[in-house]
Chain A
Amino acid sequence: MFIFLPPARAQEPTGARLLHADREPQNWLTYFGTYNGWRYSPLNKITRENVNNLTPVWAFHTGRSEGGLNATPLVMDGVMFLVGPFNRVFAIDAVTGKKIWSYFYDLPQITIPNTPGTRGIALGHGMVYLGTLDNHLVALDARTGRELWDVEIQDVRQCGCNITSAPLVIKEKVIVGGTGGEYAHRSYLNAFDAKTGKHLWRFYTIPAPGEPGFETWDKESWRYGGAPTWLTGSYDPELNLLYWGVGNPSSDFYGEHRKGDNLYTNSVIALDVDTGKLKWYFQEIPHDLYDFDGAYECVLIDIERDGRRDKLLVHPNKGGYTWVLDRVTGKFVNAWPYVDTINWMKGVDERGKPRDLLPVPPTGTTFVCPNAAGGRSWNHSAYSPRTRWWYNTGAEWCGTITPQKEEVTEGARIFGGTMGFQPPKDKPAYGHIDAFDPVTGRKAWTHKTRFVNLGSLLVTGGDLVFTGDIEGNAFALDARTGEKLWSFNTGGGISGSAITYEVNGRQYVAIPSGNGALIRRFIPLVWPEAKELMPEPSSTLLVFALADKNN
């Protein structure tokens, strides 16, 4: 195959190096830092004691700001790789902030589904992988930013789907999911040869006629039933299993035309990464009518108890519940709420299925808590092996759903109704950041916030949790108590994912600033004062370090 690969030295990271990313705490090589979805870094030079000396050392503007800076930066050997809105990719000197190269993907002048923001890119085999807003997967030379290959997964005009999340490189493959939960589309997950772009396998998240699970779709609804794979998955090398959260069925709120459980919507799926074959699945919400995606991150945690090691998967659902599964078999272990205000179900039964689901009649308006933006947005949680706590955000808020029948046309938007946003009926709306025992859900501490939080969490070996708020403040909490120890006004709402890295012995914290998320427009419907307090959309990366360069 014909690829102009960079020299061997620059062909890093190989699949093997990515596999052991935990051995390189100075770098942040994959979307979640490591394949287990932890968003944890062992770096510990910045501590609870000295974090108040954290100071900005450089900033980087990506240019166009619509969509905001939702990305997770990657760092390899002193070079940072960042994607901004409209698929602009940059390589940056991680010490100085100086641009090394840029690549602006040539987006066609067509309707782009979703926001122009992107959540991340992937590194591997000397390349940078970008999923585009018009549904292409592009490989760039990591050394020069030059385009090497580009493959169109499906015409965005036919499917209404595109890529807003980071691809995942595993061994010799690059795996990429897509959007499509609000469009008449049958979603999938694709694997490509990481070097050549050759398509290797596709897993449809809606079974075809003759496949198990097809019977959970009514009539022709399987053809356009959504089930998107719009966030990045996790991987267990020991089991060689790829875990991916699957989103909502379409249309979101009207389900008369798709009666049945609608597999594999709102599920966690486990695939053999070599073949793309389904090993197991677990559906959290059958026949979803609330737009409660199951697309969020899969956090892989091993728990030692009673002399054995349980390989678990912790999965927050948009509806405010966290499911805990045995990731070897997919068997249900536990489920517990990460927000207090939940009215759409009354707990789960012994199989982990929701009890007494709140009906959403096809006519009329239903009051639902949390609202369709979720008990939490997509922005990720973090797990620390030091505290053995899982850190997560939550919002106490509600809303309404008013279903409406819509004509189904392939690739066209199909919400099936409208949603509203309101405070809970019995208390003011608020947000919080919490530390939980990931298996039992026992809450170790809670840090209450005025508004919903849209920044991912990062937890470090210095026992600090880094994130930020919609008013533009980047901040650090004590991972052991939840106490706020440091804060800095970045000037842009925080909706991306902070990372930490080290170059020449100095630890840095990179925090994306600039909130252009769709949800931004809904927040003032619940907190009117937020309208003035939220900065305008922007897209800037701020990098911090301790003032003393010796640290």
Chain B
Amino acid sequence: MGVSLLLTICLLSKARGELQPQIPADRGQTQEGAALFALNCASTYCHGEGGKGGGAPGLRDRSLAPEDLRHLILAGIPGTAMPSFGSRFSSSETDDLVAYLVSLSSRQSGVNDAVPSAGTRQPPRESTRAVPEAESNSTAGPTIGPPTGRVGSGGALVGEAEAGRSLFFDSAAIDSCRVCHTFEGRGGKVGPDLTQVRAKSAREIFESIINPSAKIDSNYSTLNVTTRDGRRQAGVRRDESEERLRLFDTSTMPPVSRAIPRTEILSIERSLRSAMPDDFGTRFSEKQLLDLVSFLKASRQGVTLEEVK
């Protein structure tokens, strides 16, 4: 894997000569940081063991400003292989890592030192880490709690949020929900971002899945474009510029973004039908639909059939 070496070096070296390392040499903190570094950053593909010899920029022989380090760790470097660790590390862990990285900056790249190996590594200070519930599984979205889907006491169906998540993000299906919708930063941009849809009632969410044309967000309504040569193209507006309009053609999955030159467009009509397929009510079982609603509602106890009908 690769990195944007120049960008990273540029950002890191911005502080050179301007700011000196200011993190006090807390040995315990540095050791914790070293352990975190070994686990998350020291792959040869990344910064290498002890911050040298990796594919990403070396972290020695330079003055590293704690503020810049903290920002880079938390935000990552968009456009490069450096990811954001903002959701992976707690604040105290980030402090530990910064302390370790600052301690590295005074070391020469040719000098070996004792970086804790996997075998001797101290576990992260889980006991001192207050993890907000939504953070603990952040790479896959908010934590919903243990699967609770089951047949309720009265024999009624109850949705399982985790099963709904699997259905939503199913990477084996060419047309799973994530192909068009984003949830918690992952997924397509054809339809609305559903991260905040939990504010709606379970019934509304259920209805919008099985009958998408009943209520359409006007930003995502279907456009019917007719061009000068008499051809028609339906789709959801992606974006437009002076030269062209781009539509998501949802007649095929994954949707295809098609660019239409403005000079070719004769007319654009807005349709009252949603571009979303209207057969989810039959494609999915009731249980699967409840799973999806439970996931989108972030419901711990699971949504029941009675709540949606």
Contact = CB atoms under 8 A, between A and B. Distances in A.
Interface of A: 2-4, 66-67, 86, 107, 109-117, 146-155, 157-159, 182, 185-186, 196-199, 202, 204, 208, 363, 372, 402, 404-406, 409-413, 415, 417-421, 516-518, 521-522, 525, 537
A4 to B, nearest CB: 6
A113 B81 contact: yes
B131 interface: no
A331 B44 CA distance: 37
B174 A199 contact: yes
B64 interface: no
Contacts of B261: 4, 146
Nearest to B227: A2
Interface string B191-215: 0000000000000000000000000
B10 to A, nearest CB: 11
B171 A158 contact: yes
Interface stretch (B28-36, B154-162, B246-254, B286-294): B246-254
A285 B122 CA distance: 35
A411 B49 CA distance: 23
Contacts of B78: 109-111
A147 B259 contact: yes
A151 B187 contact: no
A112 B81 contact: yes
B81 A151 contact: no
Contacts of B43: 413, 415, 417-418
Given A111-B78, A116-B2, A152-B254, A521 B54 contact: yes
Contacts of B277: none
Interface of B: 1-7, 39, 42-45, 48-49, 53-55, 76, 78-84, 117-119, 139-140, 169, 171-172, 174, 178-179, 185-188, 227, 231-233, 244, 246, 249, 252-261, 264
B140 A410 contact: yes
B3 A158 contact: no
A112 B244 CA distance: 27
A182 B171 contact: no
Contacts of A66: 2, 4-7
B172 A518 contact: no
A110 B77 CA distance: 8
B171 A199 contact: no
A2 B53 CA distance: 51
A198 B254 CA distance: 8
A522 B48 CA distance: 10
Nearest to A141: B259
B259 A114 contact: no
Nearest to A147: B259
A194 B161 CA distance: 39
A467 to B, nearest CB: 22
A3 B53 CA distance: 49
Given A116-B2, A149-B258, A419-B44, A199 B186 contact: no
Given A66-B4, A150-B256, A157-B186, A410 B171 contact: yes
Given A4-B264, A152-B188, A420-B44, A115 B3 contact: yes
A136 B109 CA distance: 39
Contacts of A157: 185-186
B55 A522 contact: yes
Contacts of B233: 2
Contacts of A2: 227, 231-233, 249, 258, 260
Contacts of A417: 43
Nearest to A364: B119
A364 to B, nearest CB: 9
Contacts of B81: 111-115
A260 B79 CA distance: 36
A179 to B, nearest CB: 9
Contacts of A152: 179, 188, 254-255
In the A-B complex, the 4 residue pairs with the closest CB atoms: A115-B2, A109-B78, A2-B233, A197-B256
A421 to B, nearest CB: 8
A411 B169 CA distance: 12
Contacts of B256: 149-151, 196-198
Contacts of A109: 78-79
A199 B254 contact: yes
A175 to B, nearest CB: 16
Contact of B171 (A111, A146, A159): A159
B271 to A, nearest CB: 16
23 contacts: A2-B231, A2-B232, A2-B233, A110-B78, A111-B78, A112-B79, A112-B80, A114-B2, A115-B1, A116-B2, A149-B259, A155-B188, A157-B186, A158-B187, A197-B252, A199-B252, A199-B253, A405-B118, A410-B139, A418-B42, A418-B44, A418-B49, A521-B55
Give the residue among B39, B244, B256 with the most A Cβ atoms within 10 A: B256
A415 B172 contact: no
B1 A518 contact: yes
A116 B4 contact: yes
B55 A4 contact: no
A187 to B, nearest CB: 10
B170 to A, nearest CB: 10
Contacts of A413: 1, 43, 45, 83
Q: Which of A196, A199, A417, A418 has the most CB of B within 10 A?
A: A418
Given A204-B172, A418-B44, A518 B2 contact: yes
B178 A111 contact: no
A148 B259 contact: yes
A70 to B, nearest CB: 11
Contact of A150 (B53, B80, B257): B257
B44 A111 contact: no
Contacts of A420: 44, 53
Contacts of B1: 113-115, 182, 413, 518
A405 B39 CA distance: 9
Contacts of B45: 182, 413, 415, 518
A117 B4 CA distance: 10
A357 to B, nearest CB: 22
